[in-house]
A = this chain, B = another copy of it.
C-alpha cells in the first residue's frame, strides 16, 4: 500500500492549510463578497497561481475551506441513543449555526447557488453524509421506542434540521429547537 515514491517537489501541507484557513477566515470575518481569490492569496501569503493550480474555481475552494473546519468542529459521533442522541446533536447544531461555522456555511451555499444554481454540490460533499447518519440514528430511536413518530427518518430529519436551517438562513428568532423537536419526534 505504499505510494510509488513521489517525484519532484512535494506539495506543501502548510501552504494548503494556509489557503483553506485564509478562505475560511475571510468568509467568517468579511463575508462572501470580500472572499475573492486575490484576497485569499494575499491573506495566505501565497501566489494566486498556487490556488488556481489546485482549485479550478472559488466554489470547490470554499467548500474545501468549510470541510477543513467542519470535520473538527461538528463531530457526528456521540454516546447515548435514539431521541437523546438527536436532542444532543440538535443542540450542537444550533450552537454551530450561531458561530463562525454557521456564517461560513451560508457563504459557501451562496457561492454554490451563484455558480451552479443550487447547493447540490455542497449537499453531495457534506450534508448527504450527515443526513444519512442522522436518519440512521432516528431509525434506531424509532426501533427502541424513544421516538414515537412513525414517519420516514429522512422526512423527520428534513422537518427538524430543515426547519432550523430555515430560521438561521432568514434570521428568524429565536433559534430554539423545542417546538420542532416535539413536532418531529413525539
Q: Does residue A49 face the partner (Cβ distance < 8 Å to B)?
A: no
Q: Give the interface residue-count category, chain A.
A: 35 or more
**A28–B127 alpha-carbon span in the complex (Å):** 26
Q: Does residue A171 face the partner (Cβ distance < 8 Å to B)?
A: yes
Q: Flag if B113 contacts A170 (CB, 8 Å).
A: no
Q: Does residue A137 face the partner (Cβ distance < 8 Å to B)?
A: no
Distance in Å: Cβ of A53 to nearest Cβ of chain B? 23
**A164–B165 alpha-carbon span in the complex (Å):** 12
Q: Flag if A113 contacts B106 (CB, 8 Å).
A: yes
For chain A, residues 104 to 125, give those with C-beta under 8 angstroms from any C-beta of chain B.
106-107, 109-111, 113-120, 122-123
Give me 20 A-to-B residue pairs in the complex whose CB atoms sit less than 8 angstroms apart, sorted by A's number.
Answer: A31-B114, A31-B115, A32-B113, A32-B114, A107-B113, A109-B169, A110-B110, A110-B114, A154-B179, A155-B163, A155-B180, A158-B167, A158-B180, A159-B160, A159-B163, A159-B183, A159-B184, A162-B165, A165-B166, A183-B184
Question: Which A residues have a C-beta under 8 Å from some C-beta of B?
Answer: 31-33, 103, 106-107, 109-111, 113-120, 122-123, 127, 131, 149, 151-152, 154-156, 158-172, 179-180, 182-184
